[in-house]
Amino acid sequence: MRANRGRDTKPELAVRRRLHELGYRFRVCYRIEGTTRSIDIAFPRHRVAVFVDGCFWHGCPEHYRPARRNSDFWDSKLRANRARDLDTDALLQAREWAIVRSWEHEDVDQVVRRVAGLLRSVAHR
Ligand SMILES: [Zn+2]
């Protein structure tokens, strides 16, 4: 799998930097206990998970363009990635985590607002 998938992508770093500037403290690439899955940006105490999904690898409806060559290969790869995302969400929901899934093309401040709003709403649960 190509190295640009996974942690420390530019859009993810931008979200992390902004959250940090605002005083939020979190864990990165946080392993979901008992699995091989991890959360891009995790607030374990609040059980809030943030993912910054790459437009290509996760099949963003605005930016994903089916490949013309080896399209069967890429289609099945994309389907597998999306199934994995859904499965990760289900895993986390079963453990009562709240989830923010964002696309790498989304405005950083909008993503941060969603995260901040969610953290506020779960602060007292
Ligand atoms: Zn996109």
pLDDT value, residue 6: 56
**3-state DSSP helix/strand/coil % of the chain, to nearest 5:** 45, 20, 40
pLDDT, mean over the chain: 90
Q: What are phi and psi of 56, to 5 degrees?
A: -75, -50
Query: What is the mean predicted confidence (pLDDT) over 5-18?
Result: 84
What is the greatest pairwise CA distance in the chain?
51
Q: Which is more confident, 8 or 31? A: 31
Distance from residue 96's CA to the centre of ligand 1 (Å) = 28
Does this model's pTM top 0.75? My answer is: yes
pLDDT value, residue 4: 45
Is the pLDDT reported for residue 15 higher than 80?
Answer: yes
Identify residues whose C-beta is under 5 A from ligand 1, the ion: 55, 60, 62-63, 103, 105
Distance from residue 51's CA to the centre of ligand 1 (Å) = 14
Sign of CA dihedral 25, 11, 62, 32: negative
Distance from residue 122's CA to the centre of ligand 1 (Å) = 28
Distance from residue 103's CA to the centre of ligand 1 (Å) = 6
Distance from residue 55's CA to the centre of ligand 1 (Å) = 4
Distance from residue 5's CA to the centre of ligand 1 (Å) = 14
Q: Where are the alpha helices (DSSP H) in the chain?
A: 10-21, 55-58, 71-94, 108-122
User: What gap in Å lies between CA 26 and CA 42, rounded to an integer?
Assistant: 6
pLDDT value, residue 125: 61
Distance from residue 56's CA to the centre of ligand 1 (Å) = 7
Is the pLDDT reported for residue 98 higher than 50?
Answer: yes
pLDDT digits (tens, 9 = 90+) for 52-90: 999 988 989 899 887 788 889 988 999 999 999 999 999
